[in-house]
Chain A
Amino acid sequence: MVWLLVAFPALGAALLLTWGKESDRFGHLIATAASAASFVWGVVLFVRLLGRDHDDRTVTDTLFTWISTGDFHVEMSFVYDPLAALFVLLITGVGTLIHVYSIGYMEHDERRRRFFAFLNLFVAAMLVLVLAGDYLVLFLGWEGVGLASYLLIGFWQHKPTAAAAAKKAFVVNRVGDIGMALAIMLMFKEFGTTEIAAVGDSVAGTAASTITALGLLLLLGACGKSAQVPLQSWLLDAMEGPTPVSALIHAATMVTAGVYLVVRSNAIFDASETARTAVVVVGLVTLIAGAIIGCAKDDIKKALAGSTMSQIGYMMLAAGLGPAGYAFAIFHLVTHGFFKANMFLGAGSVMHAMDDDVNMRHYGALRTALPVTFATFGLGYLAIIGFPGFSGFFSKDKIIEAALAHNVWIGLATVLGAGITAFYMTRLMAMTFAGQKRWKDEVHPHESPRVMTVPLMVLAAASVLGGILLLGDWITDWLEPVVGHTEHEHVVILGAEWPPIAVSALVTVVVAVGVALAWFTYGRREVAGETPEKVSFLTRFARNDLYGDTVNEWVAVRPTMTLARGIARFDQHGFHRAITGAVGLIGEGASSMRAWQNGFVRSYALGVFVGALALTLALLVVIWR
């Protein structure tokens, strides 16, 4: 009955999209109920799975044969295993909270029913993605997620920027999809199957180069969906969508699909050192790049988006570490899902209070005006910077530890990343909630309604308590059937073995430095009401998203446009001429033959017989030869 998980939101989406206007009044409730039902069912299944034997925690639910042609068979099958179970809970749980939040956030939007339909569609697609037992089915969910994100980012289609952002997200994602599609085709060619388990079994005994190619292609797909360098540029623009969308898609779920893909394909990555290294490099670069971008943005959502990039970079990096990191990647993914959703929704709450102004330089001193938002946001903040005891502390710590054990320089880079994270998050907190009020008098900040704050509270609680999952190494244990056993590795720096507590201490110190720097820069000093123009090169660099768009423009867009123009010119002057010339020729020939077209049926019959005669003659000639 795993399919029920998908069925609820899918049905909700279908219902809301086809039902007429009369469902405007209660459509959002249907959608929320569908999502909640899916969550409840997810919990039930999860409990059932807990009750099973440690090694017997995989439930396969085959619905029907989707494709059957020749030797190629694709079953429409859902695999419910520990990894998928975690994801299901995260998606439906956070998803339901965001549904609830959206009831308040989108209250005055005319097209609220449609918005909820898209949300449900997204949840359904994401569930298909994580439950898929076959890469082709996974691809179905993958594309469904892409579609839903396109629809949601561009939900306020009346804004040209939103429409452009949606298009950009769609196009960039397609680049990643090419990798994904090629990977699936390669699997079919090499293994004759695209079933995930079967592919995992077939990896042994396949040429290393093939596996590497497969891993790199999958990584390309993951980069697209998870906004990793070099396909990161869409994520920042995607903040044009309604804030719940940013929370759901661009923080908690969709962008994690890439991480999921890498972890799910662990068999492939385990077998290829090169692919793993590529993943680590991509993760590391994204981690630092995202963090730097986060430092320079004045737009609260874009700052958070940079943070998301950065955090997903952490997960990617962890996933690239192989069996040592898979479980921690997922662990961080879950905790990140909690606190990032929390903070995005908090940002939404702030915007709600500030009449949809997103510029942090117009905020300040909101802690008194928005006490609940401030409190929940603050908890999320503590979680993300890794304040000891909070969920982010455990999850990030584990990744840093594993990275240090893997390679000292990579580990140190992740430590640096943690410091930068602390810096920009403190900056964000300080600019938003601390200091003097900088908003204009006509703005009257007010706390959001209960329907929005309750999800915030729940998510804040989860952000704080997420670390529980690590108790007694539960999560590594839980995921072991899927990703293999996680060895506890020892961190060795300068020939000496560092105990975990020492690593934690190091990280905490670095984080404290970051916090202090930010606090002294933004908390204690007056923040300018407008974005300063005279800034250092580094700041401008960061503000412009590290010139990611410019690079894209020069590397991809310009050459393509030039090529297209050349082809168009050739088409105009070459092909067109040739075709019109041919047409003219045929036309003249036809008018000279028009005399034959006399309208008499019998003349045509004569033609038919002459033709038959000629054919028979030809036949006879062939026979005689």
Chain B
Amino acid sequence: MTAFGVVAPIIVIAALGLLFARKAVHAALALAVVMIGLAVLYAANGAPFLFAVQIIVYTGAIMMLFLFVVMLVGVESGPEAVSDPIPGQRVAASFVGLAFGVMLVIGVGQVLANGFSAPVAAVEDENVEGLAALMFGPYVLAFQFTAALLVTAVLGAMVLAHQDRLTPKASQAELAAQRVRDFGADGKHPGNAPTPGVYARHNAVDVPALLPDGTPLESSVPGSLVKRGQVIRPPVTGPGLGEGNGEAGGGSGPRADGEAGGGSGPRADGEAGGGSGPRAEGEQSE
């Protein structure tokens, strides 16, 4: 019973954690600990198959499903309010729970006091085979029913969680064709947006990337940062960049020429309008 001595306190503490956890994820973790602990107890008590099934089914599948749902819905489900809307619920619940526990202790104690007629003789070696013989022998009907139950449950869950699409889903080919059409219509860049430049002073995504000719590519900075005005200008990277950024359109010197004329295709088009405005803001806030 060494396993019990180690595992039981952990299980109880984890179960209490379930009761007192503020966040649903913590509760789920606590429950997972309980389940794994129980699995260990199963293994220690002549039920190796249940040990595996407990972990695979409960911990691996059921609790994982819980975690999924927590993550799907849990973003806004903050900790519960302190005051309970039902008057006296906590006190009553604690009382009833306690009474229930006492009752259980008395009841089971009664059973134990009467003792068992059968001797302790767990057949550990043939655990899997024995279970199989039972499952496909006397309990085969129940087994079949659980199969039907599972299928029904899956269907039910799909029906409950299903949301009908109003329009057919666009295929990859259609999306690609649409991107090319957009490019043809108003020059929207068909590929990924360019990644921001790396300037390892701190979190680097707020620094625009530089084009080969040294001009910053404003569309490489995430839009939200631009809105917040948190875009950073690299202090000095190329000749004249520091002083040249203010006059955006009407730049002077040979480089401006290159920019206006060559412009390296569509990307320059897209950026010309959108890039200049926010950049000015970014400078002001800086």
Tell me if A616 is interfacial: C-beta within 8 Å of chain B: yes
Check B103 against A606 for contact (C-beta < 8 Å): no
**Cβ proximity bits B82-126 to A, threshold 8 Å, 1 near / 0 not:** 000110010011001101100110110010000000000000000
Chain A positions within 8 Å of B92 at CB level: 606
A585 within 8 A of partner (CB):
no
For the residues of A in contact with B, the DSSP-based class is: helix
A600 partner, pick from B86, B97, B100, B103, beta carbons under 8 A: B86
- Tell me whether B86 and A603 are in contact (CB under 8 A): yes
B-facing mask of A449-484, CB < 8 A → 1, else 0?
000000000000000000000000000000000000
Cβ contacts under 8 Å, A602 to chain B: 86, 89, 93
Q: How far is the CA of A603 from the CA of B104 in the complex (A)?
A: 22
Report the minimal beta-carbon distance from A435 to chain B, rounded to whole angstroms.
83
A613 contacts partner chain B, Cβ-Cβ < 8 Å: yes
Query: Which residues of the other chain, B, contact A603 by a CB distance below 8 angstroms?
Result: 86, 89
B96→A616 contact, CB < 8 A: no
State which of B86, B93, B99, B106 has its C-beta within 8 Å of the C-beta of A620.
B106
On chain A, the residues within 8 Å of B107 by CB distance are 616, 619-620
Please, which residues of chain B bring their CB within 8 A of the CB of A600? Answer: 85-86, 89
Q: How large is the interface on A (under 10, 10 to 19, 20 to 34, 35 or more residues)?
A: 10 to 19
Inter-chain contact total with CB atoms closer than 8 Å:
33
CB neighbours (8 Å) of A620 from chain B are: 103, 106-107, 110
Given contacts A606-B92, A606-B93, contact A616 B103 (CB under 8 A): yes
A598–B89 alpha-carbon span in the complex (Å): 12
B97: nearest chain-A partner, CB-CB: A609
Q: How far is the CA of A486 from the CA of B96 in the complex (A)?
A: 89
A59 neighbours in B (Cβ, 8 Å):
none
User: Contacts A620-B110, A623-B110: A613 and B86 contacting too (C-beta < 8 A)?
Assistant: no
Query: What is the CB-to-nearest-CB distance from A78 to chain B, in angstroms, rounded to a whole number?
Result: 40
**CB distance B89 to A609 under 8 Å?**
no
A204 at interface, CB cutoff 8 A: no
Contacts of B103 in A (CB 8 A): 613, 616-617, 620
Q: Could you give 29 example pairs across A and B, Cβ below 8 Å?
A: A598-B86, A600-B85, A600-B86, A600-B89, A602-B86, A602-B89, A602-B93, A603-B86, A603-B89, A606-B89, A606-B92, A606-B96, A609-B96, A609-B97, A609-B100, A610-B96, A612-B100, A613-B96, A613-B99, A613-B100, A613-B103, A616-B100, A616-B103, A616-B104, A616-B107, A617-B103, A619-B107, A620-B103, A623-B110
Q: Mark A residues whose CB is within 8 Å of B.
A: 598, 600, 602-603, 606, 609-610, 612-613, 616-617, 619-620, 623
If A606-B93, A609-B97, A620-B110 are given as contacts, then 11 extra A-B residue pairs at C-beta distance below 8 Å, sorted by A number, are A600-B86, A602-B86, A603-B86, A603-B89, A606-B89, A606-B96, A610-B96, A612-B100, A616-B100, A620-B106, A620-B107
B interface residues (Cβ-Cβ under 8 A, vs A): 85-86, 89, 92-93, 96-97, 99-100, 103-104, 106-107, 110
Q: Pick the 6 closest A-B CB pairs, nearest first.
A: A616-B103, A609-B96, A600-B86, A613-B100, A613-B99, A603-B86
